[in-house]
């Protein structure tokens, strides 16, 4: 009986694979026909690997590390800088029991920034049709 599979997988082809484990990336050649212990062998020669990733913004230097710390700019787009200030103000009020009622106001502002940041990231700097990513706002 013939099957209707539109794609036939060749299970004997070696291919490069990667995986993430313990804050490291593993790179190997996957050989489905090899014994289990040799199935994920290391690459046999030096190769250039390009990683594409989401990252954290670079930290500001503290003043003991760099005198220029006062003038540093965040890597985040400029329209989101005020939300970082709001978060710092919120944290400051949380350390003062007599003024802790001020904290939720600034927390709400920061959360608004998070929502706008997700929308900005999802827009991907393109107009019209785009890939949709499921996001919780």
Partner 1 sequence: MIDQVKKHHPELSANEIIIMLNEAQDEFSARTLLLEEATQFTTVANQRYYGLKDSILEVKSVDLTDDAGNATTIKRLQGRPKYRDLDNV
Cα distance between residue 29 and residue 41, in whole Å: 5
Tell me, residue by residue from 21 to 60, as one string, x for binding to partner 1 by CB under 8 A and - for no binding.
xxxxxxxx-x-----xx-xx-xxxxxxxxxxxxxxxxxxx
**Helix or strand holding residue 27 (H, E):** strand 24-30
Cα distance between residue 50 and residue 16, in whole Å: 13
Residue 89 touches partner 1, criterion: CB under 8 A: yes
| Residues 122 and 89 sit within 8 Å (Cβ to Cβ) | no
Nearer to partner 1, 4 or 24 (CB): 24
Using CB under 8 A, list all residues that contact partner 1.
Answer: 15-28, 30, 36-37, 39-40, 42-64, 69-70, 74-77, 80-81, 83-85, 87-89, 91-93, 110, 113-114, 117-118, 120-121
């Amino acid at each position: 009986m013939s099957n209707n599979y539109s794609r036939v997988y060749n299970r004997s082809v070696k291919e490069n694979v990667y995986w993430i484990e313990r804050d490291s990336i593993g790179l190997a050649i996957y050989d489905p026909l090899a014994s289990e212990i040799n199935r994920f062998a290391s690459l046999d020669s030096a190769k250039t690997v390009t990683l594409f990733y989401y990252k954290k913004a670079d930290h500001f230097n503290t003043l003991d590390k760099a005198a220029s710390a006062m003038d540093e700019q965040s890597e985040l787009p400029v329209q989101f800088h005020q939300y970082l200030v709001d978060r710092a103000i919120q944290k400051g009020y949380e350390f003062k029991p007599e003024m802790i009622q001020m904290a939720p106001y600034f927390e709400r502002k920061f959360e608004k920034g998070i929502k706008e940041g997700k929308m900005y990231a999802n827009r991907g700097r393109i107009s019209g049709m785009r890939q949709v990513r499921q996001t919780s706002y």
